[in-house]
A and B are shown apart, each in its own frame.
Chain A
C-alpha cells in the first residue's frame, strides 16, 4: 500500500515537474508575444501585455497559474478567448481517436510481424525486417504526404484532409460513420506504418530470447503442439516486456501524431499546440503540454500495473 502511494506521489511530482519545466522554458526563450494585426500599436500591445499579467515577474505569474490549475482553472486562451479546458475537451477526442487507433493497430500488426519473424528464420525474417526497417526509418509526415500523393491524389481512394466531408451533415447515421472512417484511413495508416516497425523488432527479439529458453524446449518435449508452444508459452512470456513498451511508445506516437495532424489538417491537440506556440498563447501551451504529460504518465502507470498483473513473478516477489 505504501509502495503504491509512493508511486502515485512520484507520478504526480513528474506532472508538476513538467508544468514547471514548460513554464520556465517558454519564459527563458528570447522573443516577445507577437504583436501584429490591424490597430496593434505599441500602446495597445503594452496594454495587452499588462492584461495578460506579462509585466509581473515570471515567478509571480507561475504562482498565479499554479493556484489556478490546482482549482481546475487553466485560464483562457489569449488567441481564442475561450477557456483552455473547453478547447482541449473539444480537440482531445480527435487526437485520442487517431493515436489510439494507430496504437492498437501498430501493436497488433507489430506483434504479428515480430512473431512471424521469430518463427520463420531465413528469408521471411530478413525480408520482413527490411520492409519494416524501411517504414520505421520514415518521418511519419512524409509518409502521410506520400500516401496522399498515391492513394488520394493518384488513385482517388481516400480523402486527403479533414475529419469529415463537406456534406457530412446531409449524410445518414451509418453514412456518417463510414465518412469518418474514410477520413481516418490515411492518417492512421501513416502513424501505424512508422510505429509498427519498432514493435515488431522488439517482439522478434523478445520472442527469440524466450523461444531459446529451457522451458520452451521442455514444453515441446512434453508433447505439446508447436502452436501451443509458440503461442501459449512463448508469446505469453515474450509479450510481458512489450506491455511496458506500450506505455513507453506513447510519447513517440504523440510526436508523430502532432505532425500527421498538421499534414491532414486534423483538428487535434497537435495543431492546437502548434498554433498556440506560434502565438505564444501561454495558457494553451501549458494546458496542452500538461495534458500530454498526464496522458504519458498515466499510460506508463497503467503499463506498470498491467505488467504486474500479467507477470506472476512480479506479484509474488513483492509479497
Chain B
C-alpha cells in the first residue's frame, strides 16, 4: 500500500462525519468497516458482539467456571482472553494513526480480494468461525451437562422450552450434547487435517522438487493408499483396536488423508521446479532444502489450502461414519456420529435425536465446503466464474 493510500484511510476513519470517534475507538471492527475492510470489520465486530453477549448473559456460569466450582474453566478462560484480545487489538489499531495494513504478496492479495467478493465463501467462513467459538465455549453455552442423565421414566422427551432439542434415550439434554459434540467433531477434523496437510505438503513438495527414487517411492505409497476406499482402510485400522482414543482417531484420519494432499502439491511443485526464480535460487548456490522451503513450498501451497478446507468437511463426515459404526468416538463422548447411531434405534419414536445431530454435521460441512470453493475460485479465477 502506498503512502497516499494510508493517508486516505486515515482521513476516512474517525472523521467529522458518520460514526463518532469514540465509537470507532471502543467498538472493534468499526474502524475497519469505515476504512473499506468489511471482512476484517465484520469478523471483529461479530466476534466481539458474540463474546460480549455470552459473557453478559452467562456471567454467573463464567464466574463459577473460572473459580473452579463447575467444569469449563478452559472455556471461560478462552472467552475472557478472546474478548480481551479482540478489544485490545481494536484499541491498539485505532490508537495508531495509520490504518493497519496487512502486507501480503501479490497472489495472496488477489486471493483475498476474490474470496471477499464471493458471498458464499464469506458466509461459510463466518459460519465456520462461529462454529469454532461454539466448540470452544460449549461448556458455557450448553444449558446442561452433556453427560448428566435425568430420570429414565421421563426419557426421550420431545423438543420443549426446558429442552430445546429434546432429550435422549437416557434423558440427557440433546442441545447440550450437540454443543459439546462440536468440540469433538471440529477438534478431530481440524487436527487431522492439520496433520495431513503438514505431512502431505512436506512429502509431496519434496517428492515433486527432488524427484528421483524418493518421488517414485512416495508416489507408489500414495497410489497404494488411494487404492483402498478410505472408510474401508479406516475401519481396518481403527476396528482392530476396538475402542480407539480421540488421539488415535486424529492420527488415523490424518494418516489416511495426507496422500491426497501430497499428490496435489507434488503436481504443483513439479511445475514450480522449472520456474525461473527457483532456477535462479539454485544458481545462487542455495541448498536444496532452503530452496524447497523458501521457494517451492510457498509457491505450491494454493491447492493445499483448498484441499484442507474441503478436507475438514470430508473428515467430519468420515469421523461421523466411523462413530456411527461404533469404531469412532466412543460413548459417553458426545460426538455427532454417535448421537446419530444412538438415535437410529429410536428413530420411530424420537426423530429429534438423529435429525439435529445430522443437521449439525450438514451445517458444518456446508460451511467448510463453501470456504473451500471460495478459495478454489479465488486461487484460480478460471475455475467457476463470477458471472
**Residues of chain A whose beta carbon lies under 8 Å from any beta carbon of chain B:** 10, 13-15, 17-18, 21-22, 25-26, 29-31, 34, 121-122, 133-134, 136-139, 141-143, 145-146, 148-149, 153, 204-205, 208-209, 250-252, 254-256, 258-259, 262-263, 273-274, 277-278, 280, 285, 288-289, 292-293, 296-297, 300
Q: A292–B232 contact, CB under 8 A?
A: yes
Chain B residues within 8 Å of A14, by CB: 220, 223-224, 227
Chain A residues within 8 Å of B354, by CB: 142, 145-146, 149
Chain A residues within 8 Å of B361, by CB: 138-139, 142
A208 to B377, CA, bound (A): 13
- B residues 282-320 touching A (CB-CB < 8 Å): 313, 317-318, 320
Q: B220–A13 contact, CB under 8 A?
A: yes
- B residues 342-371 touching A (CB-CB < 8 Å): 343-344, 347-348, 351, 354-355, 357-358, 361-362, 365-366, 369-370
- Number of chain B interface residues as a range: 35 or more
Chain A residues within 8 Å of B321, by CB: 139, 141, 255, 258-259
Given contacts A136-B369, A137-B366, contact A254 B231 (CB under 8 A): yes
Nearest-neighbor residue (CB-CB) of B358 within chain A: A142
Q: B224–A18 contact, CB under 8 A?
A: yes
Given contacts A26-B236, A29-B240, A133-B366, contact A149 B355 (CB under 8 A): yes
Q: A292–B228 contact, CB under 8 A?
A: yes
Chain A residues within 8 Å of B229, by CB: 250-252, 254-255, 258, 292, 296
A147 to B235, CA, bound (A): 25
A254 to B226, CA, bound (A): 13
B138 within 8 A of A: no
Chain B residues within 8 Å of A138, by CB: 317, 358, 361-362, 365
Nearest-neighbor residue (CB-CB) of B224 within chain A: A17
Q: Other than A139-B337, A149-B347, A293-B227, give 15 A-B pairs with Cβ distance below 8 A.
A: A14-B224, A17-B224, A17-B227, A22-B233, A34-B242, A121-B387, A133-B366, A137-B366, A139-B320, A141-B324, A145-B340, A250-B229, A251-B229, A259-B325, A278-B327
Chain A residues within 8 Å of B230, by CB: 251, 255
A193 to B35, CA, bound (A): 44
A274 to B242, CA, bound (A): 11
- Min Cβ gap B286→A in Å is 35
Q: A142–B227 contact, CB under 8 A?
A: no
Chain B residues within 8 Å of A122, by CB: 387
Chain B residues within 8 Å of A285, by CB: 236
Q: A293–B228 contact, CB under 8 A?
A: yes
Nearest-neighbor residue (CB-CB) of A160 within chain B: B347
Query: B362 contacts which of A18, A137, A149, A251 (Cβ < 8 Å)?
Result: A137
A-B contact pairs, 14 of them (CB 8 A): A14-B220, A18-B224, A29-B241, A137-B365, A142-B340, A142-B354, A143-B358, A251-B230, A258-B231, A259-B231, A273-B232, A273-B236, A280-B240, A289-B236
A279 to B385, CA, bound (A): 51
A22 to B239, CA, bound (A): 12
**Residues of chain B whose beta carbon lies under 8 Å from any beta carbon of chain A:** 220-221, 223-233, 235-237, 239-242, 313, 317-318, 320-321, 324-325, 327, 337, 340, 343-344, 347-348, 351, 354-355, 357-358, 361-362, 365-366, 369-370, 382-385, 387
A133 to B370, CA, bound (A): 9
Chain B residues within 8 Å of A259, by CB: 231, 321, 324-325
Chain B residues within 8 Å of A145, by CB: 340, 343-344, 347, 354, 358
A263 to B232, CA, bound (A): 16
Chain A residues within 8 Å of B239, by CB: 274, 277-278
Chain B residues within 8 Å of A149, by CB: 347, 351, 354-355
A146 to B384, CA, bound (A): 31
- Min Cβ gap B219→A in Å is 10
- Min Cβ gap B10→A in Å is 39
Chain B residues within 8 Å of A142, by CB: 320, 340, 354, 357-358, 361-362
Q: A277–B340 contact, CB under 8 A?
A: no
Given contacts A121-B387, A149-B351, A208-B384, contact A289 B369 (CB under 8 A): no
- Min Cβ gap A54→B in Å is 13
Q: A137–B369 contact, CB under 8 A?
A: yes
Q: B236–A297 contact, CB under 8 A?
A: no
Chain B residues within 8 Å of A289, by CB: 228, 232-233, 236
Given contacts A30-B241, A133-B366, contact A141 B340 (CB under 8 A): yes
Chain B residues within 8 Å of A205, by CB: 383-384
A133 to B367, CA, bound (A): 10
Q: A31–B241 contact, CB under 8 A?
A: yes
A194 to B344, CA, bound (A): 19
Nearest-neighbor residue (CB-CB) of A129 within chain B: B120
- Min Cβ gap B225→A in Å is 7
Chain B residues within 8 Å of A278, by CB: 239, 242, 327
Chain B residues within 8 Å of A258, by CB: 229, 231-232, 235, 321
Chain B residues within 8 Å of A277, by CB: 235-236, 239-240, 327
A274 to B235, CA, bound (A): 7
**What 4 A-B pairs come out closest when comparing CB atoms?**
A277-B239, A255-B231, A17-B224, A29-B240
- Min Cβ gap B248→A in Å is 9
Q: A255–B220 contact, CB under 8 A?
A: no
Chain A residues within 8 Å of B365, by CB: 137-138
A26 to B384, CA, bound (A): 42
- Min Cβ gap B343→A in Å is 8
Q: A31–B240 contact, CB under 8 A?
A: yes
Q: A153–B226 contact, CB under 8 A?
A: no
Chain A residues within 8 Å of B223, by CB: 10, 14, 17
Chain A residues within 8 Å of B358, by CB: 138-139, 142-143, 145-146
Chain A residues within 8 Å of B362, by CB: 134, 137-138, 142
